[in-house]
Amino acid sequence: MFNLISLKVKCPVCGHSLMNEKQLVDNCPSIQLGVMVGEKKGTINLSSVYESYNYLSDIETPENELIRLFCPHCNSEIKSRTDCDACNAPMIPLDLELGGNVSICSRIGCTNHFVKFVDFSFALKQLYIDSGYLERPYDEDMTGSWKPLGMSADEEEKIEVIKTGTFLHTYCPYCKKSLIEKGTIKLKVKRNGKSGFLMLSPYLNVFTSKSTIYLPENEFIGDISCFHCDKTLILSDEKCKECGSDIARIMVSARKRLFDFYICSKKGCKWHGLSKEDINDIRLEDSLEW
């Protein structure tokens, strides 16, 4: 329902914000809490993207273990009397800054959670305003007045500029089927024997993401493939120009034709680029490529 919306939460005990603007998870501000697993204490940063299960922790978090979460401001343990419908572990409630709350399961690996708004229509509208999605066209004009410095008038006529915020209609380079599903770019991922899906923002230079399996920040995601034909999108002979990781190839439609679009396979890296052939005809506004 919320696609790639980031939720802002606060402590239900003292009311202080739990958002950490500097420590990003899924390229969004994270929810920072104290954590206990058994006798070990540490800090955990949860993804604020709804239905994402990614996090960073400075202590080990073994699968199926129960965690206890604490407010970093008042040090109160955050807990409730409600148990998870899926695994019977205690649910942990966090207050939404907009009113209402989001509850997450305390069992590591369980994906059960739910959101309750005080005023659903107001909250949903505000979420989209805060995330920059409200009134954003589904299909924007892919040309613009922006041009790289030093571009001549003749070059400007030949080069197509795709503006920041443009919706990228994305396709598999093999079966040519659309990779857009429910307003996101959907990719199949495999990591450490687990399979799931990675959802990326389809808007150029908007780097929000979420996944159905745990994908650690700043690490190689794993194999990335088309969810239709299951062919890998990872290129064995190309590397990210920013961090040196493997890159994946998808196809994006421009005004004139389809072109190859490359993304880095390292979680959190924002590099993306074009082929040497396409770079003469197309520019991506605000891209790290130039």
Give the pLDDT score at 113.
Answer: 75
pLDDT: which is higher, 147 or 240: 240
What amino acid is encoded at 231 in this protein? K
- Residue 36 pairs in a beta bridge with 41, 68
Q: Report the alpha-carbon distance of residue 81 to residue 170 in Å, rounded.
A: 45
Per-residue pLDDT averaged across 153-179, rounded? 80
Name the residue among 134, 130, 101, 131 with its Cα closest to residue 118: 101
pTM recorded for the entire structure: 0.71
Cβ burial of 45 (10 Å; 0-12, 13-18, 19+) is: buried
Q: CA–CA separation, 197 vs 213, rounded Å?
A: 7
Instruction: Kindly report, residue by residue over 213-229, the tens digit of the pLDDT.
Output: 999 999 999 999 999 99
DSSP 3-state of 279: helix
Q: Is a pLDDT exceeding 80 seen at residue 36? A: yes
Top-confidence residue, 98 or 202: 202
Reading the block at residue 81, the tokens are 């009397």
> In this predicted structure, what is the pLDDT of residue 253?
86
Q: Mean pLDDT of all residues in the chain?
A: 83
- Residue pair 230/188 in contact (Cβ under 8 Å)? The answer is yes
pLDDT at 141: 35
Q: Are 220 and 245 spatial neighbours (Cβ–Cβ below 8 Å)?
A: yes
Split at pLDDT 50, 70, 90, the class of 32 is very high
Largest distance between two CA atoms of the chain: 68
* Contact in structure between 224 and 232 (CB atoms under 8 Å): yes
pLDDT score, position 116: 61
Does 124 score more than 60 pLDDT?
no
pLDDT band for 281, please (50, 70, 90 cuts).
low
Query: Residue 131's pLDDT is what?
Result: 53
Decide: 4 and 51 in contact? Cβ < 8 Å.
no
**Count of CB atoms within 10 A of residue 10's CB?**
19
More confident site: 33 or 130 = 33
Q: Across residues 16-35, what is the average pLDDT? A: 95
Phi/psi of residue 131, nearest 5 degrees: -90, -5
Q: How far is CA 252 from the centre of its chain?
A: 19
Residue 135's pLDDT is: 40
Question: pLDDT: is 116 or 120 the higher one?
Answer: 116
